[in-house]
Structure 1
């Protein structure tokens, strides 16, 4: 049974589900920063997914990155799987702009998180409702 790492639960807001991945929003309002987590048990590395899931993860990642680039007017998309703090396999998909608070440095570790307001979360969800594919299902909340 899939269980989300406690650190991801603590630091993110659940947005919804693709066929393979749970989509999370990092609760850091300075950057549109999303995380995809394959809903598979005890997977910490890409190579632990079977070939079909590896392909699906890449499809979901690239589709999301393209959608976010257009939706949030990104200058650059940062896409990475690191897992040094949270071992559960997860893919960061981060919208970067030349005028963002950390540019051109990485977004993590530079500042204490600035949580989203309820209004900001509602606005992001509304924007995503217009652009996410038919195979995406929002989590209510």
Structure 2
């Protein structure tokens, strides 16, 4: 039987925040942006269409509600939601809050400058903030 396992690059580049009904919620290790990653806990999935219809709806529900909460919490200008998978084939969905004064605005965040990794204190703070956001959301059916 196949079991979900996280791609090593996703594990190395992000921090686990919590498990949502479908996805593992991770924080990208780049303090320049509030940047979340949702990874459906399903084995051997690389494309959205490989998920069941129910799981597709659930992933979208998790992404949009998190995006809305991020925008309100951190007063962002735009929420970017994207799947790429060119570097890591395992299906993962980026939810990135953008500000007009961020280092990459108005372009994409990928390949822009050097990531600023979270120090321990800031990582603990934002992790607690994100857990509180998730606790306030209705993410299930």
Fold similarity call, TM over 0.5: yes
More off after superposition, 103-112 vs 42-51: 103-112
Q: CA deviation at 1:108?
A: 1.3
Q: Residues of 2 paired with 1:25 and 1:126: CA distance?
A: 12
1:46-57 matches, cutoff 5 A: 46-57=48-59
Q: For 1:22-70, what per-residue CA distance to the aligned partner results, in whole angstroms no more than 9, with x for missing partners? A: 0010000111110000000000000000111011111111111111111
Partner of 2:121: 119
Alignment length (residue pairs):
136
Match of 1:82 in 2: 84
**Cα distance in 2 for residues equivalent to 1:71 and 1:57:** 21
Which residue in 2 is equivalent to 1:108? Answer: 110
1:86-109 alpha-carbon deviations (Å, 9 max, x no partner): 100000000100011111111111
RMSD of equivalent CA atoms: 1.3
Alpha-carbon distance in structure 1 between the residues aligned to 2:131 and 2:89: 30
Distance 2:132 2:21 in 1: 19
Could you tell me which of 15, 39, 42 is aligned with 2:44? Answer: 42
Paired position in structure 2 for 1:139: none
TM score, norm. by length of structure 2: 0.92
Q: 1:29 aligns with which of 28, 31, 34?
A: 31
Instruction: Structure 1: state its 5+ residue gaps.
Output: 137-141
| CA distance in structure 2 between the partners assigned to 1:131 and 1:61 by the alignment | 13
Give the deviation of 1:111 after TM superposition.
1.3
CA distance in 1, matches of 2:122, 2:31: 8
Q: Aligned ranges for residues 8-23 of structure 1 at < 5 Å?
A: 8-23=10-25
Contact 2:48 2:56 (8 Å CA) reproduced:
yes
